[in-house]
A and B are shown apart, each in its own frame.
Chain A
């Protein structure tokens, strides 16, 4: 009986909370929610990125008083990579949100149609689906600086040494998570294999087999592919790298997408994984922006990272780059509309008209950390390119010049698939009433 009254009290409190949650939001700041996953099976890869994103925003607040004098209200909502929680978080944060950062392909798929109606831009840097680049179809979705198809193209370009025709007759295996994310590169790789005459072998890894890939690696050992390209996430990366070491697959023929290049995954095997490569749109190094974060956030104890060394990881620095893109979009919008407190619609314009030049990167203390980026109405990605990083046994080092994707090859595919999406989700509003510029 007593428990029951307590329970009813909790329910009453909850009802009150629901009533109030919509009211308690500030409008004198830039509200940037982030649907984080610091818990659950993918927390290992999520946490360092989220830390980087958060610390950059906190640094802007501490150093410059926000963006253009407007403080950033950086809100985290934890999803644990769970799509149900994703709906909850999206609905909870969307009230005054200027942007939504869904951080999971499943949540992105759920949220994508809603953002057209709620008029909130989606920012999915380096993930989401590649056709999102087509701004005339996906007016509210952005996936700068490079899409998965760009990644697949650049990886093969690097494997072929800059000339894909050398791939003729080779056998390339795609070891991928059996999940919408892992299937992303397949349409482009199939097209490339037709064009250049290499054999494509897709080897899916189920979500339940991420940590035990012995059957997949048995297949790799039997088929002897010339190269293995990995589209892995979370626990799958460490599993694959460990198996590759165990089966003595030559590490210099093993390349991963940018989410398969976390320092933590490779530290376990250390020197044995020497030669493993991962493509990345951020290069490692010691950049001035890191000193600012050290000074304004870390030394004050505001950061979630435990040791200063965590700032040197690829994923933490990638979080910084991602937050920088968002902050620059906000600044672009502020400059254009002459208002400090921009709306979600104005931020959308900012994301569409990004122009982060080398000079601007220099000003931000990030020269060489990420390639210059420019977006436009029909290019919501920017396709700015990436570098190949190589694991030297202790850390990732830059192993190539800037690689850039081929637009004339990828663009038609983007248009085809985005038209398909619009048809599946008919009636799809497309650009709607939004003028270009």
Chain B
């Protein structure tokens, strides 16, 4: 009834190949975008921006990057956090070497550094697959964190060994540093995430996306139909690391404000792998659903006892939280092994034929 597709005729190839061929999808997307761009900024508190909205967006973006590589091109990676670190440190160095540079430019430039590093560590993928490749990317993870600790030039010989973000503005509007208003930072992150997501939806539907999927499904067959495996795999590494690098720079510059090397250590890599898997490999929307579950849900759960007037110790709540989120992950994977995106697809299918299932 609500999702009825009858009566929506496609008369041209363009309309059949549109990003959202079904009208209801467009409406739903418009509602979500309106909520993100208009409703949330009007009502959200500083805490909501800093602890829920901005982290969810940044983690979604990082997971989207990983999904390009793992979900679309089938190359398993455990080094996401390291590549995020490359983006963050590159952005830090660029903004300290060229202080006048617009931070948006610096942000998009820093992606190229992580892309280059990603391609370098992606080279083994031409020879090895699956778990073996995962180990190679794990090596990159350890190496990069070690490098962030040892190479003092990267953090400008700062005594604390951490990178700190100074105040920067775009045309007079302060966007980083302590004086930046959370709404401005939120809009900034939201804008970049929207642009990159839109680009990725298109990219994964196009020639590159199809090449990647072919490689993922069977690389020998892909090679036989004339796909250049090297180009396909390395382009996946490049695009993926580019996005991941931007996510890392956003994390330090627009959310945390300072970072020490071990932030980019393996726990964060795993967290992003979880988001991608729970959300759904090979999907764009899944990253956002996954990030809501993994990043936002624990924060919300922490608030629940206070809201219900229960007096539970913060540490106890943390233990409860780990258990609840852990069991939810297992539950979701049992109910729908292909992730939340597939779960939504099933709901949508049912809605389309509702209330008259065949």
Whether A129 touches B258, Cβ cut-off 8 Å, given contacts A78-B318, A87-B51, is no
B307/A183 in contact, CB under 8 A: no
Within 8 Å CB of B314, what residues of A? 36, 38, 76-78
Chain A residues with a Cβ under 8 A of chain B: 1, 3-4, 10-11, 13-14, 16-22, 24, 36, 38-39, 76-78, 80, 83-84, 87-88, 91-92, 105-106, 109-110, 112-114, 116-117, 129, 178-180, 183-184, 187, 206-207, 304, 417, 420-421, 424-427
Least CB distance from B148 to A in Å reads 11
Q: Mark B47-88, 1 if CB is under 8 A from A, else 0.
A: 110111001000000000000000000000000000000000
In the bound complex, CA of A13 to CA of B308 (Å) = 10
Whether A91 touches B47, Cβ cut-off 8 Å, given contacts A106-B260, A113-B257, A420-B159, is yes
B178/A116 in contact, CB under 8 A: yes
Tell me if B's interface is mostly helix, strand, loop or mixed: helix
In the bound complex, CA of A313 to CA of B299 (Å) = 34
B177/A113 in contact, CB under 8 A: yes
Give the segment of B162-170, B203-211, B213-221 that binds chain A: B162-170
B51/A92 in contact, CB under 8 A: yes
Whether A39 touches B318, Cβ cut-off 8 Å, given contacts A91-B50, A180-B162, is yes
In the bound complex, CA of A250 to CA of B131 (Å) = 46
Which has the most chain B C-beta neighbours within 10 Å: A77, A110, A178?
Answer: A110
Closest B residue by C-beta to A186 = B159
A87/B319 in contact, CB under 8 A: no
Number of chain B residues whose Cβ lies closer than 8 Å to a Cβ of chain A: 56
A426/B159 in contact, CB under 8 A: no
Whether A425 touches B347, Cβ cut-off 8 Å, given contacts A88-B51, A179-B260, is no
A426/B47 in contact, CB under 8 A: no
In the bound complex, CA of A109 to CA of B50 (Å) = 16
In the bound complex, CA of A87 to CA of B296 (Å) = 13
Closest A residue by C-beta to B180 = A117
Which has the most chain A C-beta neighbours within 10 Å: B48, B165, B179, B260?
Answer: B260
Which has the most chain A C-beta neighbours within 10 Å: B160, B259, B301, B347?
Answer: B160
Does B104 count as interface, using CB distance less than 8 angstroms? no
Whether A106 touches B306, Cβ cut-off 8 Å, given contacts A1-B347, A78-B318, is no
A16/B307 in contact, CB under 8 A: yes
Chain B residues with a Cβ under 8 A of chain A: 43-48, 50-52, 55, 149, 156, 158-162, 164-167, 177-179, 255-260, 262-263, 265, 292, 296-297, 299-304, 306-307, 313-315, 317-319, 331-332, 335, 343, 347, 350
Least CB distance from A112 to B in Å reads 8
Whether A110 touches B149, Cβ cut-off 8 Å, given contacts A17-B304, A105-B160, is no
Least CB distance from A26 to B in Å reads 13
Whether A424 touches B156, Cβ cut-off 8 Å, given contacts A76-B314, A88-B51, A113-B257, is yes
Within 8 Å CB of B50, what residues of A? 87-88, 91
Within 8 Å CB of A3, what residues of B? 331-332, 335
In the bound complex, CA of A420 to CA of B166 (Å) = 13
Whether A87 touches B255, Cβ cut-off 8 Å, given contacts A1-B347, A17-B306, A117-B178, is yes
Closest A residue by C-beta to B49 = A91
Within 8 Å CB of B167, what residues of A? 425-427
Closest A residue by C-beta to B318 = A78
Q: List 12 A-B residue pairs with CB atoms under 8 Å apart, sorted by A's residue number.
A: A11-B292, A18-B45, A19-B43, A21-B306, A22-B45, A38-B318, A39-B319, A106-B162, A106-B258, A179-B262, A420-B158, A425-B165
